[in-house]
A and B are shown apart, each in its own frame.
Chain A
Amino acid sequence: DTAVSQTPKYLVTQMGNDKSIKCEQNLGHDTMYWYKQDSKKFLKIMFSYNNKELIINETVPNRFSPKSPDKAHLNLHINSLELGDSAVYFCASSQDLTFGEAFFGQGTRLTVV
């Protein structure tokens, strides 16, 4: 059983399109995150949710909109995709808002052409 699964694994799309990445965790965790890994491999937090409530919105353009229908799911919708959005997007979850191990999904490699 995959603990944190995100789909799709690869996404190639044209500039200006709208796309979504889905994430689900079966660990019973309260907290979920989206991280972005750029071309230099640097990882940075984008959003976090705790029990469906937005906790962190890290100066991400408002073209990015996370949605958490329940605490096991955190989806990322991106409007009007730009070349600079090309990156690997990781979903992760942790038990709660205390510091603890975060489990990562396998990543979604987004390429905007």
Chain B
Amino acid sequence: AQKITQTQPGMFVQEKEAVTLDCTYDTSDPSYGLFWYKQPSSGEMIFLIYQGSYDQQNATEGRYSLNFQKARKSANLVISASQLGDSAMYFCAMSLVASGSRLTFGEGTQLTVNP
């Protein structure tokens, strides 16, 4: 079984500051993928970043980076230089080949960027 936990229902950050959204996961499978998705108020699901369990380096995509700490089973998303348009719900998710590559999602973190 796999589980994703996001312990921050809501987060606030000032524009231009960095923010970290927490995500911990639980699986006994050594091979997995970790993902972050953004869901703005318009409702679509936007892929942000991916980290494979065997990747040696932390993934980065523009202002997004994934702080992957395998021993602690955490995959926190760091957003640098926050923008007003970053205000959205953020979901952490995990995928296992053994589970047919389905995504198992956390409960999400609502991020609000203040001007």
Contacts and interface: CB of A to CB of B under 8 A. Distances in A.
A42 B97 contact: no
Interface residues of A, number: 30
The interface size bin for chain B is: 20 to 34
Nearest to B94: A99
Instruction: State the majority secondary structure of interface residues on B.
Output: strand
18 contacts: A33-B102, A41-B108, A43-B93, A43-B103, A43-B105, A88-B43, A99-B33, A99-B96, A100-B101, A101-B35, A101-B50, A104-B37, A104-B46, A104-B47, A106-B44, A107-B44, A107-B45, A109-B43
Interface of B: 32-33, 35, 37, 39, 43-47, 50, 52, 89, 91, 93, 95-97, 99-105, 107-108
Interface of A: 31, 33, 35, 40-45, 48, 50, 55-56, 58, 88, 90, 92, 94, 96-104, 106-107, 109
